[in-house]
Amino acid sequence: MLATMTSKGQITVPKEVRDRLNLDAGALLDFQIMADNTLQVRAVKPDAKQLRGLLKSPHPNPLTAEQMDEGIARHFRDRAAAPTATRARKTASSSKGRVR
| 15, part of any domain | no
| 53, part of any domain | no
| 23, part of any domain | no
| 73, part of any domain | yes
Among 33, 50, 28, 31, CA closest to 41: 31
| 20, part of any domain | no
| 80, part of any domain | yes
Q: Give φ, ψ of 74 to 5 degrees.
A: -60, -40
The model's pTM: 0.42
Burial degree of 17 (CB within 10 A; 0-12, 13-18, 19+): middle
| 27, part of any domain | no
Q: What is the pLDDT of residue 84?
A: 63
Number of structural domains the chain divides into: 1
The per-residue pLDDT for range 5-55, each reduced to its tens digit, is 999 999 999 999 999 988 988 888 999 999 999 999 988 887 766 666 667
pLDDT grade for 92, boundaries at 50, 70 and 90? low
